[in-house]
Amino acid sequence: MSEPLIACLDVDYRADTAVAAGLWFRGWTAAHEETQAIAGFREVAGYEPGAFYRRELPCLLGVLREGPLADIVVVDGYVSLEPGHPGLGAHLHDALDRKVPVVGVAKTAYRSASDVVEVLRGQSSSPLFVTAIGIDLAAAAAEVRRMHGEHRVPTLLRAVDQLARRSEMPGRTGQGE
């Protein structure tokens, strides 16, 4: 059985524009990506507390279109916020034509979040907060714990964050909602 193709995604916001980045890698313990993509977006929606997905979802969908079909998607954020309130990951899962598992890896606690597993990595005493849809939560947390890198944030999750931050706005841009 071959290792799953995983896409990790992140978005960097700049005034009313955004750059979304994606890294695709084979298997949870990969140290390097197989491919990467960036997508630029103009007229991005403003930040709305409790409805962050309205701002970020179009960007994530746009960068996913630029890469290969993933078996699993990892987002910087939560899949579920609290009972009855889906987070970014759940909205992404619902928006995808193919219902691929989505794993949320957040660096900060959301006080009312439910169905969260705290994952300690490296020497850090600060956990990552893992949520998931379409995959067993305990299994997803165990895979995040196994991801490459000796620091709190896995190597490729840090790399996709840096790619989004460092990338120039591409010439071809999508439209935010």
Summarised one tens digit per residue, pLDDT across range 122-146 is 999 999 999 999 999 999 999 999 9
- Report how far residue 70's alpha carbon sits from residue 130's, in angstroms, rounded to the nearest whole number: 19
Residue 3 one-letter amino acid? E
For the chain, how many structural domains are there in total?
1
Q: Which residue has the higher pLDDT, 4 or 169?
A: 4
**Which residue type sits at 36?**
Q
Segment 11-31, tens digit of pLDDT: 999 888 999 999 999 999 999
Asked if residue 73 lies in contact with residue 7, where contact means CB atoms within 8 angstroms, the answer is yes
The predicted pLDDT at position 1 comes to 65
pLDDT for residue 158 is more than 80? yes
Instruction: Kindly state the average pLDDT of the residues 151-155.
Output: 97
Q: What's the CATH code of the domain at 80?
A: 3.30.2170.10
Q: 46 pLDDT band (50/70/90 cuts)?
A: confident
Mean of the per-residue pLDDT values of the chain: 91
For 83, counting Cβ atoms within 10 Å of its Cβ (0-12 exposed, 13-18 middle, 19+ buried), the class is exposed
Q: Which domain holds residue 103?
A: 5-175
Measured between alpha carbons, how far apart are the two ends of the chain, in Å? 39
As a dihedral over the C-alpha atoms of residue 24, residue 133, residue 130, residue 60, rounded to 10 degrees, the angle is: 40
What pLDDT, on a 0 to 100 scale, did the predictor assign at position 171?
Answer: 58
104-127 average pLDDT score: 92
What lies within 8 Å, CB to CB, of 15 at 6+ separation is: none
Question: Residue 112: is it exposed, middle or buried by C-beta count within 10 angstroms (0-12/13-18/19+)?
Answer: exposed
Q: Give the model's pLDDT for residue 177.
A: 37
pLDDT at 173: 47
Please give the pLDDT value at position 30: 98
- Token pair for 44: 């991005």
Q: Of 108, 103, 138, nearest to 126 (Cα)?
A: 108
